[in-house]
Amino acid sequence: MKNLLIAAVALGSLAACGPPQPVVQAFNGDSVTVQTFGPRVATTDAEANRICNSAGRARAEYLSRKATDNPYLTDHLYACLG
């Protein structure tokens, strides 16, 4: 019974894990680089917009992507416009 409880707790803690969140790698007021684990998704665009809005810019425009040394991570470059 104790082993079953331990297994249930371990499985429950794994179920609480969600997809990795995008991380801001660089920001200079005119552009922002957001790093993701995998492809660009809606949360990547939302994070870039949030950062650009914090600098008083209207929106973030996607420019390009760049591979990193880690094959699972990708850098996405956005221009802050407006």
Instruction: State the Cα–Cα distance between residues 61 and 19, nearest whole angstrom.
Output: 24
Tell me if 58 sits within 8 A of 48, measured CB to CB: no
**Residue 8 domain-assigned?**
no
Percent of the chain residues past pLDDT 70, beyond the cut: 78
Is 1 inside a domain boundary?
no
Residue 51: inside a domain, yes or no? yes
Residue 38's domain comprises 20-81
Q: Which residues lie below 8 Å from residue 60, measured CB to CB, with a gap of 6+?
A: 32, 45, 48, 49, 51, 52, 78, 79, 80, 81
Q: Rounded to whole angstroms, how far apart are CA atoms 22 and 28?
A: 18
Residue range 58-78: average pLDDT?
A: 95
Asked whether the beta carbons of 64 and 44 are under 8 A apart, the reply is no
Number of structural domains (the chain) is 1
The answer to whether residue 5 sits within a structural domain is no
In this prediction, residue 13 carries a pLDDT of 56
Confidence category of residue 41, pLDDT binned at 50, 70, 90: confident
**pLDDT of 76 above 90:** yes
pLDDT at 82 over 60: yes
Question: Is the pLDDT assigned to residue 35 strictly greater than 60?
Answer: yes
Kindly state whether residue 4 falls inside one of the protein's structural domains.
no
